[in-house]
Amino acid sequence: MKQALQILQSGGLVAFPTDTVYGVGALAFDAAAIEKIYAAKGRSTEKAIPILFGDAADLEQVTAQVSEMALRLATRFWPGPLTLVVPKHPSLPEAVSTAPTVGVRVPDHPVARALLRAAGPMAVTSANLSGQASPCTAQEVCNQLGGRIPLILDGGGTPGGVPSTVVNCLGAEPQVLREGPITLAQIQAVLAPRT
């Protein structure tokens, strides 16, 4: 963990397990390091990179404004497989997203949360070559990104399978942009007017 922090603070990339697949990430406010993610993966820079952090309280560091909808969903489903699309904080680099929005999430994995709590918010995407299968073990990361990134934290196998549900929180109603483990019905139940 100490080595991972040193690498991140010096502008490097680290791969680590999450509650879905292995991710590769850089510090969220380090534009040059985030650009290394695109290079390592062979990923188009037009694709935004989500921001992961250790606790819901970190949300205000990465969004310009936290809506009541985003707050209620974060309180109910984090840590867990729910990505919220929120207004991007002005201090986040364009390398994260050229749009005025950003996807944010708190993963439910002890290694990921320990790293994110120590490092602060990170730009993280799946630790695979663009177009290849998302890795579920450190060895699978090594097979694809070995030699392209300086460190892989081996936290054992991850569940893999379904990526997080992505919900746009910008309008009056939640909009599911990608279906995942958390359903629209579950989201609507949390947001239903309290009686």
pLDDT tens-digit readout, 32-83? 999 999 999 999 988 999 999 999 999 999 998 889 999 999 999 999 999 9
pLDDT tens-digit readout, 152-191? 999 999 988 788 999 999 999 999 999 999 999 999 999 9
pLDDT tens-digit readout, 127-142? 999 999 999 999 999 9
pTM over 0.75? The answer is yes
Query: What count of other Cβ atoms lies within 10 Å of the Cβ of residue 42?
Result: 12
Per-residue model confidence (pLDDT) at position 102: 96
C-alpha 107: how far from chain center? 8
pLDDT tens-digit readout, 90-139? 999 999 999 999 999 999 999 999 999 999 999 999 999 999 999 999 99
Q: Compute CA distances 43 → 1, 91, 156, 183, whole Å.
A: 27, 23, 26, 29
Question: Could you tell me which residues come within 8 angstroms of residue 2 by beta carbon, excluding any fewer than 6 positions away?
Answer: none
Nearest-angstrom CA–CA distance, 39 and 51: 18
What's 176's DSSP letter?
Answer: E
What's domain 2-64+89-160's architecture?
Alpha-Beta Complex (3.90)
Residues 82-106, buried b or exposed e (16+ Cβ, 10 A)? bbbbbbbbeebbebbbeeebbbbbb
Sheet containing 151-152: order of strands: 151-152, 14-17, 22-27, 122-126, 51-52, 101-105, 82-87, 165-168, 175-178
Domain boundaries, the chain: 2-64+89-160
Question: Could you tell me which residues come within 8 angstroms of residue 72 by beta carbon, excluding any fewer than 6 positions away?
Answer: 190, 191
Per-residue model confidence (pLDDT) at position 195: 60
H helix runs in 42-177, sequence order: 59-62, 68-77, 110-119, 138-145
Question: Could you tell me which residues come within 8 angstroms of residue 119 by beta carbon, excluding any fewer than 6 positions away?
Answer: 4, 5, 8, 9, 27
Q: Compute CA distances 74 → 12, 15, 46, 69, 92, whole Å.
A: 29, 24, 26, 9, 20
R_g of the chain computed on alpha carbons: 16
